[in-house]
Amino acid sequence: MGSNEQQPTRIAIVGGGIGGLFCALAIHHHCSAAGVHVQVDVFEQASQYKEIGAGVGIGINAARLFHQMDLGDKLNGIAGHRTGVWITFRRFDTSEDIVTVPVNDSDKIRQAPCARTELLDLLKAAVEVRGAATLHTKKQCRSVEVRQDYSTSAEADIVIGCDGIHSAIRNQFVVDKPVFSGQIAYRGVIPISALSSWPFPSYSVAWLAKHRHLLVFPISRNEQLNIVAFVTKPENEIADVKESWTSICDRQEVFDDFAGFDKTAQEVLGLMPEQPSKWRLNDRQPLHRWHYMNGKVILLGDSAHAMLPHLGAGAGQSMEDGWLLGRALSERLSGSTNPHFASLESTAQLYQTVRLPRAQKTQATSRAAGNTYELQTEDMLDKSFEECIPMIAERTRERMKWVWEEDLDAAYVKARDGQGLASKVEGHGGAAGGGVVAGKGMETVTQPRNDSRTPKPSTRLTGYASSRRSRQPPSTRRRGELADRFEGTLSYRHVDVQNAEQVDSVIAEIAAEHSRLDGLIAAAGIQYVKPALEYPPDRIQHVSSSARQMIKYKSPGAMVLVGSMSGLNANKGFTSSVYNSSKAAVIQLGRNLAMEWGKVIDTGGGKRAIRVNVLCPGNIITPMVLKNFEDDPGLRKIWEENNVSSTNSY
């Protein structure tokens, strides 16, 4: 990782949306201040840096960052200003006030609801004027790979995945599992001058009804009105609706869904474009890790924490990411001796430590806010509209306080200078390769530098145990004992090995976390004392999943398949032909895999093996065997009488 004039650190930002461009500016801001020279390239898949014509609310927390980068006046210049009110919540049928939330709007640093197009233009112009990054278009990143050869056209040391909600970079490391939130949204923008009268010129209005709410806020110097109309729908009614800015519908659908709303709301809807956009609102499980490949690949914005839009805070959160990632990278690259900057991985971890909990709290609060505005929280479900009204007032007044008032830099400094965080970073680094961003029309390689601070390979063991039966991990004490004994750490994941998708996802996550996978013990098996025809098919998904990860991360690892002596002998009195045959199959599987994977890992310096062995224990009294004894009272006697040593081994 170099920072001298000859070899500036090369940073590839994938995705030139709000998060990507803001991140480029923040890196430039912090690195310039620290005297660090970096080369930043932004790769955008679209043919131009362009946004759809909708609005985006920029809260005070994000506006503050614009001002810190001397872009605050420009932001205020494109925003729709507020005059003491943030939002007013109204009854859907009469427009009567439910609660009106004030905001301090007299300060220079203030709310900035704006048009996405204008915001993106502002960011792009600032990147260009400041020379913060080289902007590329029509460059679609498909994946990041570990590579040994660098004969490609472009290279980078760090890749920042700002490629949005459907991030290809994130999807390489974790399985994206969107879950329908229960709601869809129609969107459109109309000129305020087209309305016969508009009583709320400078603030947001939300009309609330059961299962529906209509949100509008002024943008573009209060000349335009941004409209987002939310409806709760059963999933089977919206099978064809996509999670996409570009999917559209007929305006009549909006009219039908918002029938019964007050005349002011109806007039707004009547001016919607003939084909407004229609968006399926998916929710996502929080992501536990935002950096991969020893910190060379880092996620930011929606790729790390896509959230429902009900707080209007997603873009602001991506800016907070960019601000702190830029700050952390500048400290790392300027040679700070703080242990958090000892490696790229620990630097990325510091960024994650500060940002992840706050972003995930925003995700969770957005979800809760949506349910409140739709009157769909659990305690509202059996209540009438009238009964819900006071509950809404109480829950919305202070909702945004913690989002807006956070002192981001103070939180960062506290984490950076606090005790104990550095030791949380696992010492698994040192994978020999670099990474490559391969794309349509472009390739960007991440390449290791001759850097004494690059983490060294570690001999510590990180173990993962899993169980289908129990979601509860073994006790902390027990895990601690095992971890101490093997001088490593032991984590626990709940997984059903019969669920192929789950197995794939968990193993890919574990491998991605450490950029390697060294071993697998396949001991998940149960004994079926059943006739052959009733026997369920066995699966070896965990074995092939692990092999794929070992090949991917070039880790010549080892696998132990737990077979049984029952795979070699017929146990007298034990009518388990299928179990025994399956164990024989495990033994044969081990032989075949050992042959097949003998030279499967291309380390660059020759082919290496994934070693596969099968362990065939004799009779051990396990809970499963005790159950067999219980089910068949004569069995124990037969076993013991016929055992050569007349005993079982415990």
Phi first, then psi, for residue 348 (nearest 5°) are -65, -35
Contacts for 120 with CB less than 8 Å, ≥ 6 apart: 17, 18, 21, 49, 50, 51
Using rule CB under 6 A, residue 17 touches ligand FAD: yes
Burial label, 316 (beta-carbon count in 10 A; 0-12, 13-18, 19+): buried
Using rule CB under 6 A, residue 20 touches ligand FAD: yes
Burial label, 11 (beta-carbon count in 10 A; 0-12, 13-18, 19+): buried
Using rule CB under 6 A, residue 545 touches ligand FAD: no
Site for ligand FAD in 223-242 (CB under 6 A): 228
Site for ligand FAD in 184-223 (CB under 6 A): 185
Task: Kindly tell me which residue out of 9, 12, 15, 227 binds ligand FAD, with binding defined by CB under 6 A.
Answer: 15
Work out how close the CB of 46 gets to ligand FAD at its nearest, in angstroms, rounded to a whole number.
Answer: 5
Using rule CB under 6 A, residue 41 touches ligand FAD: no
Site for ligand FAD in 278-307 (CB under 6 A): 279, 301-302
* Residue whose C-alpha is closest to residue 133's, from 295, 5, 11, 298: 11
* Residue whose C-alpha is closest to residue 348's, from 307, 304, 316: 304
Q: Which is nearer to ligand FAD, 228 or 593 (CB)?
A: 228
Contacts for 400 with CB less than 8 Å, ≥ 6 apart: 59, 86, 101, 311, 313
Segment contacting ligand FAD by CB under 6 A, of 9-17, 397-405, 461-469, 541-549: 9-17
Using rule CB under 6 A, residue 370 touches ligand FAD: no
Asked whether the beta carbons of 163 and 14 are under 8 A apart, the reply is yes
- Residue 253, both tokens: 């659908």
Using rule CB under 6 A, residue 550 touches ligand FAD: no
Using rule CB under 6 A, residue 483 touches ligand FAD: no
Could you give the string, one character per residue 135-174, with x where binding to ligand FAD holds by CB under 6 A and - elsewhere?
----xxx--------------------xxxx--x------
Using rule CB under 6 A, residue 320 touches ligand FAD: no
Using rule CB under 6 A, residue 567 touches ligand FAD: no
Work out how close the CB of 57 gets to ligand FAD at its nearest, in angstroms, rounded to a whole number.
Answer: 4
Asked whether the beta carbons of 11 and 41 are under 8 A apart, the reply is yes
Q: Which is nearer to ligand FAD, 16 or 218 (CB)?
A: 16
Asked whether the beta carbons of 272 and 261 are under 8 A apart, the reply is no
Q: How far apart are CA 358 and CA 347, in angstroms?
A: 18
Q: Which is nearer to ligand FAD, 225 or 507 (CB)?
A: 225
Task: Kindly tell me which residue out of 24, 27, 56, 69 binds ligand FAD, with binding defined by CB under 6 A.
Answer: 56
Work out how close the CB of 447 gets to ligand FAD at its nearest, in angstroms, rounded to a whole number.
Answer: 20
Helix (H, G, I), strand (E, B) or coil at 132: coil
Asked whether the beta carbons of 21 and 127 are under 8 A apart, the reply is yes
Q: Which is nearer to ligand FAD, 325 or 550 (CB)?
A: 325
Task: Kindly tell me which residue out of 16, 182, 435, 567 binds ligand FAD, with binding defined by CB under 6 A.
Answer: 16
Q: Which residue numbers are catalytic?
A: 579, 583
Asked whether the beta carbons of 462 and 166 are under 8 A apart, the reply is no
Q: Which is nearer to ligand FAD, 169 or 511 (CB)?
A: 169
H-state helical runs in 131-240: 168-173
Binding site for ligand FAD (CB under 6 A): 14-20, 43-46, 56-57, 139-141, 162-165, 168, 185, 228, 279, 301-302, 309, 312-316, 318
